[in-house]
Structure 1
């Protein structure tokens, strides 16, 4: 592997001159700069990021910790984060915890050992596990879509209650009255907020909130499928389902097809998040959400601002979701 001294020898300059050219720390003559850059190109020299980070106390690396990259929501989020970081000169170190709190902590230690400049955490884990992670964190941090009690971190989120309210109000405006809700795990803040939006929309119309129409699941398509099968088997009177994320809503579409129901004539389905895939299933999924990539870009922007302005007041940025009406919702028909 070539070294800075190899570059200096080929360019006919001192290695300190090479350093000044590469790091732009002191004016160097145009001729010397040209020879140094030509030598770097010829021998394929790559400056040591480790050495640079030790000199400047920065690595220009952002650690991103997510619970499940198989979920399109987190995949799209990471794309937005990477884009925002890249445009600001930062690289991304991605870790997938697979919803395992112990693995989250292990990755947290790994990221800190890599001397990351900042941490972006999007996790569905319980608050206690996340609090343990933030006890380890000694770098600027941003959480996506949730707050962590006691953690000094900025937050970027979607207004979950408002989005769920808009989804259920859409069904109510179409004439639906028996509207089931498939939620995520009850202990998650996101789940509670979206269930509250379902309740608020029903109560606003003077409708009873039937607890038997609320089924807890796990934010996966398989979980939504199983929950929908139970609903369609036991509660034939329902005409619409609000699923607390699009992945569960896709499972509902599958279950409805297996029950021989025509969508949306016999059952309307609306999700949450507006993942890209939701526009390409059949019927195309009505949903609420904001651009997930934009959410990622905003989270990256807030984190980089925190890195560069560590003493600034903490931010709590909340994006407003919109209703996206597609083919999976219509006025109720006869079952």
Structure 2
């Protein structure tokens, strides 16, 4: 493996000159710079990231925590984050917490030891130890999608309450009155707020909220299938269901199909996120659209700004959702009118 001394000898310059070219820390003539770069290429020399970080006090590496790597929603946000950091010359270390706050806390400590320049967090839920760990990390942080109470960090998220309202209002306009809700884990702010939007839409539509039509589940297709099965077994079977994410909505559609029910002729289903898979479900899923790539880009930009200026005021960015109507939602069945 070549060393910086080998590069200096090959280019016939000093080690200090090679260092200045690599780190851009002093003026070097164009001819000398080209000679050094050609030597680096010829010898396939890879500068030490650790050595460079000791000089610049930066590793040009950030950490990112997600709750569930199998959820396509997070993959689409990650793409926006990675694209932005790549253009800025930063590497991203991705950690999957498996919806376990304890595991997430361990990852925070690991990333702190690796001296990352900043951290993007998608919380796995409320946990006192996790909050203490994030506070103790003392590094720039941006929270995405799921707010963490009492943590001084920049935030990027969609208006979850407005999204739940849009989904439920759409079903009300189609004539539905018995509208079920498949909620996510209520320890998460995003899940609570989506249910709040569901409740607000029913209230404004003159429909009494019936808690018997609400089921909790995790944000997975299996969770949606189990919750929908329970709703279909209930005495007041809903004519429509708002699921708090698309994976749960797809699970709900599967549960209806297992009972021989048609979507949307017998029961309508609306999801939340508009993952790429939503357009290809059977039938294509009506869903609340989150600007996922934009969310990732904004989160990365905020972290870059925070790394450059740790003292600037905290920023809270709330993006507005929209509704994309496809074939999984339709008018209330005549028998239920």
SS of 1:200's partner is: helix
Matches within 5 A, 1:179-218: 179-218=179-218
Q: CA deviation at 1:11?
A: 1.2
1:153-173, Cα deviation, whole Å (9 max, x unpaired): 011111000000000000001
Q: CA deviation at 1:231?
A: 0.8
1:167–1:287: 8 Å Cα contact kept in structure 2? yes
1:147-206, Cα deviation, whole Å (9 max, x unpaired): 323321011111000000000000001111110001012222111111110110000011
SS of 2:223's partner is: helix
Change in Cα spacing, 1:284 to 1:294, as seen in structure 2 (3 Å) is same
2:125–2:187: 8 Å Cα contact kept in structure 1? no
Normalised to the residue count of structure 1, the TM-score between the two structures is 0.97
1:130–1:148: 8 Å Cα contact kept in structure 2? no
Change in Cα spacing, 1:99 to 1:129, as seen in structure 2 (3 Å) is farther
- Say whether 1:310 aligns with 2:310: yes
> How many matched pairs?
335
Q: CA deviation at 1:30?
A: 3.1
Q: Could you tell me which residue of structure 2 aligns to residue 241 of structure 1?
A: 241
Q: CA deviation at 1:233?
A: 1.7
Q: CA deviation at 1:89?
A: 2.0
Q: Could you tell me which residue of structure 2 aligns to residue 151 of structure 1?
A: 151
SS of 2:232's partner is: helix
1:7–1:45: 8 Å Cα contact kept in structure 2? yes
Q: CA deviation at 1:214?
A: 0.6
Gaps of 5+ in 2: none
Q: CA deviation at 1:284?
A: 0.5
Normalised to the residue count of structure 2, the TM-score between the two structures is 0.96
Gaps of 5+ in 1: none
Q: Could you tell me which residue of structure 2 aligns to residue 78 of structure 1?
A: 78
Q: Could you tell me which residue of structure 1 aligns to residue 67 of structure 2?
A: 67
1:127–1:148: 8 Å Cα contact kept in structure 2? no
- Say whether 1:297 aligns with 2:313: no
SS of 1:241's partner is: strand
Structure 1 residue runs of 4 or more that deviate by more than 3 Å after TM superposition: none
Q: Could you tell me which residue of structure 2 aligns to residue 172 of structure 1?
A: 172
Looking at structure 2, the residues matched to 311 and 204 of structure 1 have their Cα atoms a distance apart, in angstroms, of: 43
Q: CA deviation at 1:304?
A: 1.0
Of 207-216 and 290-299, more deviation after overlay is shown by 290-299
Q: Could you tell me which residue of structure 2 aligns to residue 101 of structure 1?
A: 101
SS of 2:283's partner is: coil
Q: Could you tell me which residue of structure 1 aligns to residue 319 of structure 2?
A: 319
2:153–2:314: 8 Å Cα contact kept in structure 1? yes
SS of 1:142's partner is: strand
SS of 2:182's partner is: strand
- Say whether 1:20 aligns with 2:24: no
Q: CA deviation at 1:13?
A: 1.2
SS of 1:52's partner is: helix
Of 184-193 and 1-10, more deviation after overlay is shown by 184-193
Looking at structure 2, the residues matched to 117 and 168 of structure 1 have their Cα atoms a distance apart, in angstroms, of: 41
Looking at structure 1, the residues matched to 121 and 244 of structure 2 have their Cα atoms a distance apart, in angstroms, of: 21
- Say whether 1:41 aligns with 2:54: no
Change in Cα spacing, 1:149 to 1:291, as seen in structure 2 (3 Å) is closer
2:123–2:147: 8 Å Cα contact kept in structure 1? no
SS of 1:264's partner is: coil
SS of 1:187's partner is: coil
Looking at structure 2, the residues matched to 58 and 32 of structure 1 have their Cα atoms a distance apart, in angstroms, of: 26
Q: Could you tell me which residue of structure 1 aligns to residue 132 of structure 2?
A: 132
Change in Cα spacing, 1:147 to 1:237, as seen in structure 2 (3 Å) is closer
Looking at structure 2, the residues matched to 145 and 312 of structure 1 have their Cα atoms a distance apart, in angstroms, of: 22
